Amino acid sequence: MPANLPPEYYSAEKKFREAVSPGEKIFALEELIATVPKHKGTDKLRADLRRKLSQLREEAIKKKKTGKGDIYTVENQGAAQVCLVGFANSGKSSVLKSLTNANPVIADYPVSTVIPLAGMMSYEDIQFQLVDLPPIGNESTDGWVSGILRVADMLLLIIDISEDPDIQAELLIEQLEKWKIMLIKKNELKNYTYPAKPAILVANKIDIPETIEGTEKLLKSFDSLFPVIKVSTIKKEGLEELRRTIFENSGIIRVYSKEPGKEPDMTTPFILPSGSTVLDLAEMIHKDFISNFKYVCIWGSAKFGGQRVQKDYVLHDKDIVEYHLK
């Protein structure tokens, strides 16, 4: 069956052939895949392109792990990687410094962040990696900034609440969509063409007088679409709520292990995607667990402590799992 590829495919294919860096290649290939119509005649082509995309992503990860990547990549650490997105002087660096151990340059001039800067944010017994990046709208950095955002787990849109915050948010979201970076909206079940990411709008600088009107505009326009958290890095207001909201929207859960007859290890949780099962955790702990465990007991979300559950039991945050082996 003929593929009947549209003109957009050949244009995207040319971009892919001309791409140089791993990030550019991944982005170009994602665009190329999106142009391929879905029918039986393109099944093999789409499968080949997806296989190539998977290989490119694996190669990019290997380069990061071996230290062979360039300075414009950030190795993912912690429970999730959260990137800060905003315009110049929105206060991204101040938010990073307030939440992590990082020590960024904080200044009044437009571009004080020139390379990625990461810090670790603690939340209870886990840590998130926060990454500050140059501001959106800088032609010399937008290319590689978009590449880092594309592989991040979550985005924080930092909004200067004193400067037309609703327009700032609209422009940031518009730019992200131009880069084919989609944001997951509240209560929306949508099959996105490109991978969608959770996002939080951070209404920064609420300590500045006369920001009530701007705050109301932002909430009216976006509170029904995304979590909106009001913060002041000067007065240290809203920061704990922001930490909690990052965790609640990260799409991960913490699960603790327990050996039979012993107390559970509550110091180092396993981090899994929401919706993971007992079998998923077994695969993460050790490959032999899958074939060797007889039954599993659960504390936490179970009806009673120590309840035996099936392999497809869906785990919840802070569950304690005890595997009994053959």
From CA 158, how far away is CA 180, in angstroms rounded?
19
DSSP classification of residue 134 = P
pLDDT of residue 240: 96
What residues have CB less than 8 Å from 159, skipping those under 6 apart? 86, 90, 165, 168, 169, 172, 201, 202, 203, 204, 218
Residue type, position 71, single letter? I
Residue 131 near residue 148 (C-beta atoms within 8 A): yes
pLDDT of residue 72: 63
pLDDT of residue 273: 93
The full set of domains in the chain, from first to last, is 7-65 (no CATH), 81-248 (3.40.50.300), 252-325 (3.10.20.30)
pLDDT of residue 105: 59
From CA 223, how far away is CA 237, in angstroms rounded?
19
What residues have CB less than 8 Å from 142, skipping those under 6 apart? 136
- Which residue, among 100, 96, 77, 78, has the nearest Cα to 86 in the 3D structure? 96
From CA 89, how far away is CA 258, in angstroms rounded?
48
pLDDT of residue 113: 55
User: Is 206 in a helix, a strand, or coil?
Assistant: coil
Look up the pTM and report it. 0.75
User: Is 122 in a helix, a strand, or coil?
Assistant: strand
Residue 206 near residue 219 (C-beta atoms within 8 A): no
| Block mean pLDDT (10 aa), the chain, length 326 | 74 79 70 81 84 75 52 80 93 92 62 72 94 83 84 94 92 92 81 79 91 88 94 94 96 92 89 92 80 85 90 93 85
